[in-house]
């Protein structure tokens, strides 16, 4: 690279500089999950569903979170949202913050979902537990652009009813008639049973779809997010129904630090989850696993 | 062009900004120090290379990304713009590594701290005529003489240097200093080519990188061989820290207790990290995708030797500087591993 | 800027390195290629030794507890108050627990403080009992045996005889010599319960029954020299050690084939070479080999901390004076009185660490001065330690970091850390090493010896030195064998201490060999549960926890776990990392089951740091009369899934 070009590239923003963001709202989703609504100093940003943000608690550290708001919502409100489960130092510190506090944000990062590939197709979205946030971004974006997509089915499974995130939104989605909605929990509580709702792992929802809206393989694209074991079994169900490997879209998880393909932590083989992913098709995952002799999931 | 030796010190004094050059530390080790006393700078025949690569002047073991002050709305302050830097006496292997790092740190996203330094750094390298016992750069397109990629490459001919300009930066350096240079007679170029050939004969080790790449990429290395090699690794991180092409880093925040006005100061720094460390890939919830030593050991060599990385990077992940041989506790440095992959058995080791 | 060469402050290897700084502070390290110990290599800890200097969580000022509330205090004021508080007690009501991570100068001044200023022999450091088996035999080592030998003498040997050295990460510079030797086709004879990463490279790897080292070594010696009496039949040897006659003969053949033999063992291991008998039997074996034509042999006992050897040599022991002299050595006592300017030394052996803690709980010991931050990791019985700390009337801590120890103390003095501290160390080879200052001490942090001198002066015993060098000068006058120590030589790494200890094993008779009494596994309890001093991968000392990288690495191992090999674990219906119940005839404990295939079948290993679980499962430990070391009973055990 010519020296001038190098200097020009550097005279822009510092790669690791977070934009300041004020917390405008905190929603308790479950006992250990909160959604933060953030107002970025730079105003509304443009992003694709499935991209993520590196959020800083200054003095504690930085961690990546899938952006759970949809780009269309951000355009309307100027805010973005991230949904955070408290499992470590940074997430624990985030949970201690209040409305009005400041965090840092570097976004959007990652490749995002290949939304254009879903146009005109039957879309199946499968979420497990805390895997729902990026799918929420995707689903709300699709619902805001409804005419571009075929039938949309949402399958959502959680461990218990208390572990379900976006509870109010789930009810709204269930009521929509332009969305096929099925949900289940592994372990029900009294209220859930009283309502006669479904119990079982999320894969038990597939026979129901076979009944009420069978899958037509070439015209179907599926988006899956959730615990690795859930993804594994959902892929099996989709393969059983002949959905092509390149139409099965999921995300890979790795420890991330810089989010821009430099620090090396998220590398799987020669791919970096933060820049080549986190969204990968099943076909890509299989090929990568073969190439690098490392398990991807 | 030619530079007479007696004019070298004046040339070095003419350099603006910082000058890094090789000196000896207290017990004789070679190190690229910044702004050393000129009389301490080593002659080509007095050293092979430094313990830590001079690329560490641009990517140090620890550097502050930014400082912050927290009192309500955070205030972020970035470090001052780096000064121009000239590295004198750097070797071909490290020059080749520098070119790789510039590619890596500006690929897709531009790493500001590194590239701000790199864009202001000029390399005046001295081609090696006396390789060290650990050197194997010819196996890795890393030297001993570079045909491309250098800014200014010197060949030490005793009382004169042959000066070869290889880049725009080198040309800019030379342009402002033409009073130090004379035209080079053509037989000097021939002599340089002869010396380059002769030097190739002086290397004591060979590392058959191509075979290593092929065996590793085609996954034709037995699990037993991987296990036996990994058994000798103690995951010290030394190989990554001395390797001029390794770039992994960790990012850590520090915070001081609030001072009198209630403001807490702190900073975000990055420091060298290594894929061999058990905690390197551990996720927040405690899951570790590389939970055992052999998976991490394989990872290192995949990154260095796989064809897929080579395609992406434009070169194999090694310049043959030999530093990993010095730091390794278990004799599982690059040539040891590559040659083990090639021979498909553990060399010279009696197994039960 | 690059510093002068200094020494890593973690383990007993003591590797040479330089520290790199920029305008703001320390930013990294450079391993010293010329260093005779490290040869340009550093382990993960050495590469990160500079990081604690960048950590902000430090004790910066003296802290005084007044009327139940703690506040930062002026240093001088705190010193005079602490001295006043100390004056209330008689000498033997006061105890000092010093550190193996300080300098020689720190340790020497601590000894002087105890004996000359306070007038007590109640001074010790927690790791000392583990050094006693070696110390007790050191006096009887023949001229022809090099003990301790050096790391490079290991590299020159043609047979490395390693006993209980554990994981390859434990003493990295020993590992380097071992692997370089095996790659050169030299022999490794490994006796270790662990099927460590050394095992596949050993010409012979023997995994004997627990605590049978002494019997095994005596039996070997008997094979090599018919004059050596083996008070067991061949069958008895096999049944006690689990090693067959064929294996014994193979070991003998391997040993006989060598011309230059180096033996290495870990003084801190709880499973191997734990008793003075073991070390004595090793010497018996070596003597037998010399009779059979071996040209050279050396023995290298590995010590855990950067200054375990130094602390011992400076007299941090209830029965020792500096130079490994006994408190009953008339000549040494006379010299002490003359150099320290006192009339006499306290009589009678003082209390060990363990005894001091018990005495604090019972009320016999009323004041404790605790130096350094590693008491909590070195004394695994956290409950007894907390009891002692809370019950003792006066607790003075010289510490770098906040901890339950400093919480309990009435007076806390800020201690400088590695990089701020100047002085000398003694590494595992007995080599003196230099520590130089690479950063100005943070806040009011002082070196251990400086705080003790100030306390002494406030107590009316004037003690003041302008530098660590001056303390070293006095030490050189105190110990004749140290009189020709030159700091330049120390800096170059050529100063090896080879003084002979006065300590002789009084009550070990030549014939006595302890036979381990092991319980027999059954169907209900198919495992033997052993306790070992195993952390990740060296030991989680406090300094390491203040390095951001090392803290991340150690984070992996703080919940109580037990090691078992994967086949064994699966047989209990467990998976790696699963919560389990460790059941024994004594009780049970909740642990995580961690699969480690270095553990042989039939054995589970519980790291010593999980003391609560240890007590629950294993029961009451005892203290060895001879060495003062803690002995954990061996029990049978089983594992099952926890609900």
Which token pair is A118?
A: 């879903």
pLDDT of B121 reads 97
pLDDT of C536 reads 45
Q: How many CB pairs under 8 A join A and B?
A: 149
The 3-state DSSP class for residue C187 equals strand
Asked whether residue C504 carries a pLDDT value surpassing 70, the answer given is: no
With contacts defined as CB-CB under 8 Å, which chain A residues touch B240?
Answer: none
SS3 string, C116-138, reads HHHCCCCEECCCHHHHHHHHHHH
> Residues of A numbered 51-80 whose beta carbons fall under 8 angstroms of chain B's beta carbons: which are they?
56, 58-63
Q: pLDDT tens digits, residue range C331-387?
A: 999 999 999 999 999 999 999 999 999 999 999 999 999 999 988 778 878 888 899
**Sheet of strand C145-146: strand arrangement:** C145-146, C296-302, C260-266, C159-163, C187-191, C204-206
Q: CB pairs under 8 A, 24+ apart, for B308-312?
A: B308/A269, B308/A270, B308/A291, B308/A292, B308/B217, B309/A270, B310/B213, B312/A270
- Orientation angle between helical segments C213-224 and C245-256, nearest 10 degrees: 60
Distance CA A142, CA A129 (A): 21
Let me know: does B138 contact B322? Beta carbons within 8 Å.
no
With contacts defined as CB-CB under 8 Å, which chain A residues touch B169?
Answer: 3
What average pLDDT does range C406-413 have in this prediction?
96
What average pLDDT does range C184-201 have in this prediction?
94
Distance CA A245, CA A238 (A): 9
The residues, ordered by sequence, that sit 6+ positions from B213 with a Cβ below 8 Å of its Cβ are B305, B306, B307, B310, B316
Given an 8 Å threshold on Cβ–Cβ distance, is B331 in contact with C183? yes
The residue behind tokens 């064809």 is B307
Q: A291 at the B interface (CB within 8 A)?
A: yes
With contacts defined as CB-CB under 8 Å, which chain C residues touch B31?
Answer: 2, 18, 30
What are the domain boundaries of chain A?
14-109, 115-251
DSSP per-residue letters across C254-311: HHHT-SEEEEEEETT-SSSS-SHHHHHHHHHHHHHHHHTT--EEEEEEE-SBTTHHHH
What average pLDDT does range C200-207 have in this prediction?
95
pLDDT of A12 reads 62
Given an 8 Å threshold on Cβ–Cβ distance, is B271 in contact with C548? yes
- Orientation angle between helical segments C213-224 and C234-241, nearest 10 degrees: 150
With contacts defined as CB-CB under 8 Å, which chain A residues touch B109?
Answer: 15, 260-262, 275
Q: pLDDT tens digits, residue range C165-181?
A: 999 999 999 999 999 99
Q: A42 at the B interface (CB within 8 A)?
A: no
Closest CA to A171 of A159, A184, A181: A181
With contacts defined as CB-CB under 8 Å, which chain C residues touch B28?
Answer: 34
Distance CA A112, CA A121 (A): 18
Let me know: does A84 contact A30? Beta carbons within 8 Å.
no
Asked whether residue A92 carries a pLDDT value surpassing 90, the answer given is: yes
What are the domain boundaries of chain B?
2-200, 209-343
Alpha-carbon distances, residue C26 vs B117, B257, B273, C54 (angstroms): 20, 20, 17, 7
With contacts defined as CB-CB under 8 Å, which chain C residues touch B236?
Answer: 41-44, 47, 172
Which token pair is C67?
A: 């009327």
Q: Which helix (H) or strand (E) holds B99?
A: helix B92-106
pTM (two decimals): 0.96
Given an 8 Å threshold on Cβ–Cβ distance, is C168 in contact with B254? no
pLDDT of C139 reads 80
Which of C54, C172, C203 is nearest residue B234 as measured by Cβ atoms? C172
The 3-state DSSP class for residue A89 equals helix
The 3-state DSSP class for residue A135 equals helix
The CATH class given to the C130-302 domain equals alpha beta
Q: pLDDT tens digits, residue range C543-561?
A: 998 999 999 988 766 788 9
Q: Confidence band (pLDDT; 50, 70, 90) for C138?
A: confident
Given an 8 Å threshold on Cβ–Cβ distance, is C30 in contact with B52? yes
Alpha-carbon distances, residue C401 vs B166, B178, C413, C415, C504 (angstroms): 54, 59, 10, 8, 39
Q: Confidence band (pLDDT; 50, 70, 90) for A293?
A: confident
Q: Confidence band (pLDDT; 50, 70, 90) for C53?
A: very high
**Sheet of strand C16-21: strand arrangement:** C6-7, C16-21, C26-31
Closest CA to A50 of A78, A31, A69: A69
Average pLDDT, chain C: 92
Q: A284 at the B interface (CB within 8 A)?
A: no
Asked whether residue C535 carries a pLDDT value surpassing 80, the answer given is: no
The residue behind tokens 């500001």 is B112
CA-CA-CA-CA dihedral for C491, C495, C496, C497, to nearest 10: -100
Given an 8 Å threshold on Cβ–Cβ distance, is B348 in contact with C184? yes
Query: Whats the size of chain B, residue-wise?
Result: 352
Q: B78 at the C interface (CB within 8 A)?
A: no
Let me know: does C26 contact C439? Beta carbons within 8 Å.
yes
> Residues of B numbered 198-217 whose beta carbons fall under 8 angstroms of chain C's beta carbons: which are they?
none
Closest CA to C592 of C569, C608, C611, C615: C569
Instruction: Produce one character per residue of A74-108: b if its CB has 16 or more CB atoms within 10 Å, e if not.
Output: beeeebbbbbbbbebebbebbbeeeeebbbbbbbb
Positions of CATH 2.40.40.20 in chain C: 527-641
Closest CA to C607 of C270, C382, C355: C270
Instruction: Produce one character per residue of B20-52: b if its CB has 16 or more CB atoms within 10 Å, e if not.
Output: bbbbbbebebbbbbeebeeeebbebeebbbbbb
Chains that touch B (3 or more CB pairs under 8 A): A, C
Average pLDDT, chain A: 94
CA-CA-CA-CA dihedral for A4, A9, A12, A17, to nearest 10: -140
Let me know: does B121 contact B88? Beta carbons within 8 Å.
no
Which residue from C minimizes the CA distance to B323? Answer: C40
Q: Confidence band (pLDDT; 50, 70, 90) for A1?
A: very low
With contacts defined as CB-CB under 8 Å, which chain B residues touch C43?
Answer: 234, 236, 329
Q: pLDDT tens digits, residue range B313-344?
A: 999 999 999 999 999 999 999 999 999 999 88
Cβ atoms within 10 Å, residue A46: 9
What average pLDDT does range C384-406 have in this prediction?
94
With contacts defined as CB-CB under 8 Å, which chain B residues touch C23?
Answer: none
Closest CA to A67 of A288, A247, A287, A278: A278
Q: C18 at the B interface (CB within 8 A)?
A: yes
pLDDT of A2 reads 46
Q: B257 at the C interface (CB within 8 A)?
A: yes
Percent of chain C with pLDDT over 90: 81
Which token pair is B7?
A: 């004019």
Closest CA to B281 of A272, C574, A282, C42: A272
pLDDT of C477 reads 96
Which token pair is C158?
A: 């043609």
Which residue in B36, B292, B330 has the most chain C C-beta atoms within 10 A of its own C-beta, making it the best mutation to test that interface?
A: B330
Given an 8 Å threshold on Cβ–Cβ distance, is B278 in contact with C182? no
pLDDT of C643 reads 79
With contacts defined as CB-CB under 8 Å, which chain B residues touch C204?
Answer: 352
Closest CA to C409 of C42, C129, C59: C59
Strand spans (E) along B186-260: 249-255
Distance CA A224, CA C244 (A): 59
Q: How many CB pairs under 8 A join B and C?
A: 152
Let me know: does B124 contact B54? Beta carbons within 8 Å.
no
Distance CA C27, CA C349 (A): 46
Q: A175 at the B interface (CB within 8 A)?
A: no
Given an 8 Å threshold on Cβ–Cβ distance, is B309 in contact with A270? yes
Let me know: does C153 contact C146? Beta carbons within 8 Å.
yes
The CATH class given to the C6-54 domain equals mainly beta
The CATH class given to the A14-109 domain equals mainly beta
Let me know: does C53 contact C547? Beta carbons within 8 Å.
no
Which residue from B minimizes the CA distance to C205? Answer: B352
Q: B70 at the C interface (CB within 8 A)?
A: no
Which residue from B minimizes the CA distance to C201? Answer: B351
Q: Which helix (H) or strand (E) holds B121?
A: strand B121-126
pLDDT of B347 reads 63
With contacts defined as CB-CB under 8 Å, which chain B residues touch A261?
Answer: 107-109
Distance CA C36, CA B91 (A): 27
Given an 8 Å threshold on Cβ–Cβ distance, is B76 in contact with A62? no
Q: A265 at the B interface (CB within 8 A)?
A: yes
The CATH class given to the A115-251 domain equals alpha beta
Terminal CA-CA length for chain B = 60
Q: B70 at the A interface (CB within 8 A)?
A: yes
Q: B349 at the C interface (CB within 8 A)?
A: yes
Which residue in B73, B107, B111, B256 has the most chain A C-beta atoms within 10 A of its own C-beta, making it the best mutation to test that interface?
A: B111
pLDDT of C380 reads 77
C62-127+306-492 to CATH, choices 3.60.130.10, 3.40.50.740, 2.40.50.140, 3.40.50.880: 3.40.50.740
- Looking at the complex, report in whole angstroms how far the Cα of residue B247 sits from the nearest Cα belonging to chain C: 15
Residue ranges of chain B with per-residue pLDDT less than 50: 350-352
Let me know: does B142 contact B320? Beta carbons within 8 Å.
yes
Asked whether residue C82 carries a pLDDT value surpassing 60, the answer given is: yes
- Looking at the complex, report in whole angstroms how far the Cα of residue B351 sits from the nearest Cα belonging to chain C: 6
Q: Confidence band (pLDDT; 50, 70, 90) for C607?
A: confident
Q: pLDDT tens digits, residue range A2-17?
A: 445 555 444 568 999 9
C527-641 domain in CATH 2.40.40.20?
Answer: yes
The 3-state DSSP class for residue C1 equals coil
Positions of CATH 3.40.228.10 in chain C: 130-302
Asked whether residue A73 carries a pLDDT value surpassing 80, the answer given is: yes
Let me know: does B18 contact B86? Beta carbons within 8 Å.
yes
């Amino acid at each position: 690279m010519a020296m001038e070009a190098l200097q020009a590239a550097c005279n822009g923003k510092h790669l690791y500089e977070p934009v300041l963001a004020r917390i405008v709202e905190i929603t308790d989703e479950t006992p250990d999950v909160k959604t933060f609504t953030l107002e970025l100093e730079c105003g509304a940003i443009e992003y694709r569903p499935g991209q993520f943000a590196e959020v800083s608690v200054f003095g504690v550290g930085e961690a990546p979170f899938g952006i759970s708001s949809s780009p269309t919502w951000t355009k309307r409100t100027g805010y973005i949202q991230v949904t955070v489960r408290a499992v470590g130092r940074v997430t624990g510190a985030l949970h201690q913050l209040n409305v009005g506090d400041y965090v840092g944000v570097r976004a959007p990062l990652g490749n995002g979902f290949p939304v254009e590939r879903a146009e005109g197709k039957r879309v199946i979205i499968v979420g497990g537990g805390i895997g729902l946030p990026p799918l929420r971004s995707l689903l709300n974006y699709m619902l805001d652009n409804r005419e571009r997509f075929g039938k949309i089915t949402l399958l959502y499974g959680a461990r218990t009813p208390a572990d379900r995130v976006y509870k109010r939104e789930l009810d709204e989605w269930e009521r929509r008639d332009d969305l096929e909605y099925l949900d289940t929990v592994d372990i029900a509580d009294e209220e859930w049973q009283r309502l006669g709702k479904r119990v079982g792992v999320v894969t038990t929802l597939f026979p129901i779809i076979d009944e009420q809206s069978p899958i037509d393989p070439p015209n179907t694209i599926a988006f899956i997010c959730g615990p690795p074991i859930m993804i594994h079994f959902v892929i099996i169900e989709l393969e059983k129904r002949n959905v092509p490997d390149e139409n099965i879209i999921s995300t890979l998880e790795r420890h991330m630090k810089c989010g821009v393909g430099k620090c090396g932590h998220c590398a799987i083989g020669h791919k970096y989850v933060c820049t080549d992913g986190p969204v990968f098709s099943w076909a890509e995952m299989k090929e990568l696993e073969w190439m690098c002799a490392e398990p991807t999931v | 062009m030619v530079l007479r030796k007696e004019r070298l010190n004046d040339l070095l004094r003419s350099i603006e900004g910082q000058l890094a050059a090789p000196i000896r530390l207290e017990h004789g080790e070679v190190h690229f120090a910044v702004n050393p006393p000129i009389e301490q700078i080593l002659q080509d025949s007095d050293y092979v290379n430094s313990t830590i690569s001079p690329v560490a002047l641009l990517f140090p073991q620890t550097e502050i990304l930014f400082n912050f002050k927290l009192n309500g709305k955070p205030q972020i302050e970035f470090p001052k713009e780096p000064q121009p830097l000239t590295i004198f006496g750097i070797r071909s292997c490290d020059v080749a590594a520098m070119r790789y790092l510039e590619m890596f740190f500006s690929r897709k996203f531009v790493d500001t701290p590194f590239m701000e330094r790199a864009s202001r750094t000029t390399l005046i390298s001295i081609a090696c005529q006396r390789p060290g016992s650990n050197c194997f750069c010819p196996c890795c397109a890393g030297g001993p003489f570079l045909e491309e990629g250098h800014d200014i490459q010197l060949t030490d001919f005793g009382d004169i240097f042959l000066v070869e300009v290889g880049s725009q930066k080198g040309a800019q350096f030379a342009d402002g200093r033409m009073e130090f240079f004379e035209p080079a007679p053509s037989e000097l170029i021939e002599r340089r080519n002869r010396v380059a050939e002769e030097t190739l004969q002086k290397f004591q080790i060979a590392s058959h990188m191509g075979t290593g790449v092929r065996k590793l990429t085609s996954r034709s290395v037995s699990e037993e061989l991987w296990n036996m090699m990994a058994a000798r690794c103690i995951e010290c991180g030394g190989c990554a820290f001395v390797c001029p092409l390794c770039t992994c880093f960790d990012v850590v925040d520090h915070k001081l207790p609030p001072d009198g006005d209630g403001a807490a100061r702190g900073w975000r720094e990055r420091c060298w990290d290594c894929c061999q460390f058990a905690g390197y890939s551990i996720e927040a919830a405690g899951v570790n995708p590389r939970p055992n030593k052999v998976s991490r050991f394989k990872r290192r060599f995949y990154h260095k030797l796989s064809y897929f990385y080579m395609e992406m990077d434009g070169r194999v992940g090694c310049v043959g500087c030999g530093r990993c041989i010095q730091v390794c506790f278990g004799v599982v440095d690059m040539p040891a591993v590559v040659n083990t992959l090639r021979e498909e058995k553990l060399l010279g080791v009696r197994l039960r | 800027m690059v510093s002068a060469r200094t020494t890593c402050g973690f383990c007993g290897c003591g590797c040479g390195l330089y520290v790199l700084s920029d305008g703001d502070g320390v930013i990294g390290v450079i391993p010293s290629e010329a260093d005779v110990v490290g040869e340009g290599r550093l382990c993960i800890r050495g590469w990160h030794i500079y990081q604690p200097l960048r950590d902000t969580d430090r004790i910066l000022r003296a802290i005084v507890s007044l009327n139940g509330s703690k506040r930062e205090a002026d240093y001088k004021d705190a010193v005079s108050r602490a001295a006043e508080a100390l004056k209330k007690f008689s000498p033997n009501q006061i105890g000092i627990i010093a550190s193996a991570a300080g300098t020689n100068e720190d340790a020497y001044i601590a000894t002087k403080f105890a004996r000359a200023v306070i007038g007590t022999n109640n001074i010790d450091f927690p790791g000392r009992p583990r050094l006693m088996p070696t110390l007790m035999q050191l006096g009887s080592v023949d001229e022809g045996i090099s003990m301790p030998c050096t790391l490079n003498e290991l590299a020159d040997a043609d047979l490395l005889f390693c006993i209980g050295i554990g994981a390859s990460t434990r003493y990295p510079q020993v590992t380097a010599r071992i692997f370089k030797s095996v790659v050169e086709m030299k022999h490794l004879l490994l006796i270790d319960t662990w099927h460590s990463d050394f095992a596949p490279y050993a010409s012979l790897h023997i995994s004997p029954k627990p605590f049978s080292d002494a019997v095994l070594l005596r039996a070997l010696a008997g094979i090599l020299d018919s004059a050596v009496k083996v008070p067991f039949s061949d069958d008895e040897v096999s049944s006690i050690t689990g090693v067959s006659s064929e294996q014994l003969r193979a070991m003998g053949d391997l040993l006989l084939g060598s011309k230059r033999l180096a033996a290495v063992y870990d003084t801190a291991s709880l499973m191997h070479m734990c008793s003075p008998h073991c070390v004595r039997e090793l010497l018996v074996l070596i003597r037998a080999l010399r009779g059979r034509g071996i040209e050279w042999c050396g023995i290298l006992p590995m010590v855990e901390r950067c200054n375990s050897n130094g602390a011992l040599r400076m007299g941090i022991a209830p029965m020792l004076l500096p130079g490994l002299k006994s408190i009953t050595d008339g000549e040494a006592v006379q010299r002490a009185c003359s150099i320290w300017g006192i009339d006499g030394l306290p009589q009678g052996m003082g209390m060990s660490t363990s005894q001091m803690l018990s005495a604090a709980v019972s009320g016999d010991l009323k004041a404790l001065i605790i130096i350094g931050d590693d008491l909590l990791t070195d004394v695994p019985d956290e409950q007894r330690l907390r009891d002692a700390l809370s019950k003792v009337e006066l607790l003075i801590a010289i510490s770098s970091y906040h901890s339950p120890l400093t919480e309990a103390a009435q007076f806390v003095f800020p201690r400088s850390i590695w990089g701020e501290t100047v002085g000398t160390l003694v590494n595992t080879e007995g080599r003196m090493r230099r520590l130089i200052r690479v950063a100005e001490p943070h806040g009011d942090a002082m070196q251990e010896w400086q705080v003790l001198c100030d306390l002494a002066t406030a107590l009316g015993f004037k003690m003041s030195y302008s530098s660590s060098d001056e303390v070293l000068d006095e030490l050189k006058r105190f110990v004749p064998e140290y009189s020709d120590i030159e700091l330049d030589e120390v800096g170059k790494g050529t100063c090896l201490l080879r003084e002979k200890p006065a300590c002789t094993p009084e009550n070990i008779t030549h014939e006595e060999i302890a036979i381990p009494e092991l319980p027999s596994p059954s169907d209900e309890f198919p495992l033997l549960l052993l306790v070992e001093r195993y952390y990740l991968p060296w030991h989680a000392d406090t300094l390491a926890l203040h390095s951001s990288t090392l803290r991340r690495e150690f984070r992996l191992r703080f919940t109580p776990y037990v090691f078992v090999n994967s086949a064994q674990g699966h047989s209990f219906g467990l998976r790696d990392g699963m919560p389990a119940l460790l059941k024994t005839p004594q009780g049970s404990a909740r642990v995580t089951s961690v699969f480690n295939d270095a553990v042989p079948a039939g054995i589970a290993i519980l790291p010593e740091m999980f003391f609560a679980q240890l007590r629950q499962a294993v029961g009451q430990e005892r203290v060895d009369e001879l060495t003062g070391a803690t002995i954990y009973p061996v029990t049978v055990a089983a594992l099952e899934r926890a609900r």
